Structure 1
Amino acid sequence: MSQIIRRIGVPPSHRGSTGGGNCPDIFELADGSFAVIGTDATDSLDPDLPSDASRADYERIVVITRETLIRAKADIPDA
């Protein structure tokens, strides 16, 4: 597994999280991939995946807040 090299966006505390229970976050990894901390919604969203989408047994559907992604937008590389 790759190593976290930086946070994408602002820390959860800048988005109003004051504890450990609501801290969606996005990180860039050394291999260029991204890691996401969010709410596991696999069981509820899996049946709604479009017919051209799928996930492996080891993959999960993770939900992050809109604010988390919007505030990370400036830090996401174009290429």
Structure 2
Amino acid sequence: MSQIIRRLGASPRDRGSAGGANCPDIFELSDGRFAVIGTDVTDSLDAELPDDASRADDERIVVITRETLVRAKADIPDA
């Protein structure tokens, strides 16, 4: 089972969440994958996926804020 190694970008609190919870987040995992906490929008966007995109039954479409991804950019490895 993968483990969280580190957060990418600023914490929710550093991005202005008063409670520091219930906000998008990105984490690097020990196996090289990334975990994303976001709002599940699968039901509303699934039918809008382009023809060359698909998702498995165990995958969900999640949305994170632009700020979350932009602030994580510096922490995302190039390779």
TM-score bracket, normalised by the shorter chain, equals over 0.9
Flag the structure with higher helix content: 1
Aligned-partner Cα distance in 2 for 1:77–1:57: 29
Alpha-carbon distance, 1:49 to partner: 0.2
Equivalent residues in 2 for 1:1-79, closer than 5 Å: 1-19=1-19, 20-21=21-22, 23-79=23-79
Runs of 4+ in 1 over 2 A off after TM superposition: none
Gapped runs of 5+ residues in structure 2?
none
Matched to 2:68, the amino acid is: T
TM-score, normalisation: structure 2: 0.95
Aligned-partner Cα distance in 1 for 2:18–2:3: 26
Matched to 1:37, the amino acid is: I
Matched to 1:31, the amino acid is: D
Alpha-carbon distance, 1:18 to partner: 1.4
Q: Secondary structure at the match of 1:70?
A: helix
Gapped runs of 5+ residues in structure 1?
none
- Report percent identity of matched pairs: 79
Aligned-partner Cα distance in 2 for 1:49–1:15: 29
Aligned-partner Cα distance in 1 for 2:36–2:18: 19
Q: RMSD across aligned C-alpha pairs, in angstroms?
A: 0.7
